[in-house]
Amino acid sequence: MKKFAFVFPGQGSQTVGMMQAWEGNAASDKVLRLANEALNEDLTGLIANGPVEQLNLTTFTQPAMLAASVAMFEAWQAAGGPQASVMAGHSLGEYAALTAAGAMDLQDAVRAVRVRADAMQAAVPVGTGAMAAILGLEDDAVLAVCQQSAQSEVVEAVNFNAPAQVVIAGHVDAVERAMEAAKQAGAKRAVRLPVSAPFHSSLLRPAAVVLQDALNKIDIQAPKVSVIHNVDVQTHQSPDAIRQALVDQAWHPVRWTQTIEAMASQGVTHIVECGPGKVLSGLVRRINRDLVGLSVNDPQSMQKAIDVLREEA
């Protein structure tokens, strides 16, 4: 058996109809039903039918993506798929990883990410913050560009997604200055992202306070499978350490490149993205060409991934 890791996608991979292929799957249907009950609203209907404008609102996107990713994981479990040796999730996806690893109850996690989403949106008034992807510039150069472009405002590197693929966030004007400076420094592209808040920047610190209070009220267990956290690229067993990693994550960078490299250093050969979209599986070979990236987003891709992992080396 090959050694593999599960990774779970974050905000931005959502689409109306993303669970359509799973309709009638008892394991995934149960997860969606529990998510509906946790929020006392029809999340399943929103996922199935939209409207897309509502699904794309942070307050709905985060619980919808969490529920969809965990639903696909539970379908994998029900199909007798092999067990991962380690897990991680990109930003919001870390909650799916912790739920899949048995550290958090699904309904608690759904309610927590609703609080997280609302707190993140409330932390910075709409129109004040921005995010942009900087492509084709080394990490150190992006950090230098942010430092020179801040000018008493905030602009920071917040997602280290792959080599020469870094997302920055902060005040709108500072982000615009950094985009221009990045191009002058040799970046291939600098692209504004269609988001409503400067996620993972220090401007989100007020959201962390609200999130801390919410996480203190829910039961967290030691995970049954190791989860590598975004903020420190470490695994934690103690509930308090897990809570702190989630709180810090809200206003610190996502260190995704280091997370995937940490998995490779543990002997992982295959990275399986479990959830809507194929963003993370697409990043795998950009980070480490020795790794194989697979995605599970419908029953066919699930079976293909199971077959690949069971093939003789």
Catalytic residues: 91, 200
Question: For residue 237, which phi and psi values (nearest 5 degrees)?
Answer: -105, -30
* Residue carrying structure tokens 């230098």: 144
Contact 60, 46 (CB under 8 A): yes
Q: According to DSSP H, which parts of 25-138 are helical?
A: 26-39, 43-49, 52-55, 58-78, 93-100, 106-123
Looking at the chain, which runs of residues are DSSP E strands?
A: 4-8, 86-89, 129-135, 155-162, 165-171, 189-192, 226-227, 270-274, 292-296
User: To 10 degrees, the CA torsion angle through 12, 68, 293, 132?
Assistant: 10
Q: How far apart are CA 168 and CA 194, in angstroms?
A: 13
From residue 122, how far is each of 203, 242, 267 by CA, in Å? Answer: 11, 24, 41
